[in-house]
Amino acid sequence: MRYQVLRPPYCYRWAVLISVVLVTVSLILSLSWSGAEGTPGAPQPAPQPAPEQPAGTAAPAGTAAPPGPRAPVRTTARSGRFVALTFDDGPDPGYTPQILDLLAQHGAVATFCMVGTQVRRHPELVRQVLGHGMRLCDHTADHDEQLARRDEARMSADITGARTDLRLAAGSDVPVPYFRAPGGNWSDTITALAVRAGMTPLGWSVDSRDWTLPGVPAIVAGVRQAVRPGAVILFHDGGGRRAQTVAALAELLPWLTAQGYQFDFPAT
């Protein structure tokens, strides 16, 4: 008995053949493109932009970081037998001119750390201080000795407010190279804000303690005992009665000169 071999109709056989050809062509094209990607000169995908730097992360290498806190300077600009005289809490119409006269008599320079409220009352004294070749220092708008405990907005307003007062009094281009915190009460935020405003935080290394009104002999003796080359000496020309300061300065200036000291500004 002979069996008949069944074969699919011609249309199905042609469909199978066409499918095989299409799959083979697709494989050949896929292999060709894969090899082209690794060959020189082959087109490469366009580079994707780098993701934005998340807030609060470190800046990429080569970019400038915002200024941070800086320790207050407590030395003179020049090394050697120099001292820097500084006067706080003025200007005062009764004492600042007397101190300027004494400095001029002895060829001395000094830095005056001025309070904004006083600057607004006596702008002419700011110009007088500059006219004598002295330097200015921002001592905040109202001498708040608790400034380090305030919020950052208040700190910034007090610091930049006094600088604005000084520039209104003496000209918009007047240099204000220093900032001193009231009472020497510093914080990292205060120093960072001062640096950001373009000023050097200014401390001191010798406190005359004239603000305690201890008497002229005590002021003179205290400075003589503590002074060293490079010292920054704290006095006051405002904020209270300063007759003792004026009298003590009249003794100290010739004594410092006799000891071989010269007068300089603080470091910046």
pLDDT of residue 198: 96
Mean pLDDT of 96-123: 98
Supply the pLDDT for residue 5.
40
- From the candidates 88, 138, 210, 264, which is the catalytic residue? 88
What the block records as the tokens of 118 is 């006083």
Cβ(165)–Cβ(141) below 8 Å: yes
Q: What is the pLDDT of residue 98?
A: 98
The residue assigned the tokens 């249309």 is 11
Rg of the chain's alpha carbons, rounded to an integer?
Answer: 38
Look at residues 244, 176, 250 and name the one whose alpha carbon lies nearest to residue 214. 244
> Annotated catalytic, 236?
yes
CB 179 within 8 A of CB 201: yes
What would the two tokens of residue 91 be?
């200007």
Name all domains of the chain by residue range, CATH numbers in brackets: 82-263 (3.20.20.370)
Give residue 207's pLDDT band: very low, low, confident or very high (50, 70, 90): very high
pTM: 0.76
Residue 105, pLDDT > 60, answer yes
Range in 1-15, 66-80, 156-170, 231-245 the model is least confident about: 1-15
Average pLDDT of 107-121?
Answer: 98
- List the catalytic residue out of 122, 139, 143, 236: 236
Q: Is 122 a catalytic residue?
A: no
Tens digit of pLDDT for each residue in 14-53?
Answer: 444 455 445 454 554 444 444 443 443 444 444 343 333 3
What residue has token string 């405002």? 238
Least confidently predicted of 66-75, 143-152, 162-171, 179-188: 66-75
Q: What percent of the chain has pLDDT over 70?
A: 75
The answer, yes or no, to whether residue 172 has pLDDT greater than 60, is: yes
pLDDT tens digit string along 217-228? 999 999 999 999
b/e map 151-184, b = 16+ CB within 10 Å = eeeebbebbbbbbbbbbebbeeeeebbbbbbbee
For 95-152, give the DSSP string: THHHHHHHHHHTT--EEEEE-HHHHHH-HHHHHHHHHTT-EEEE--SS--TTGGGS-H
List, for residues 117-155, the tens digit of each pLDDT value: 999 999 999 999 999 999 999 999 999 999 999 999 999
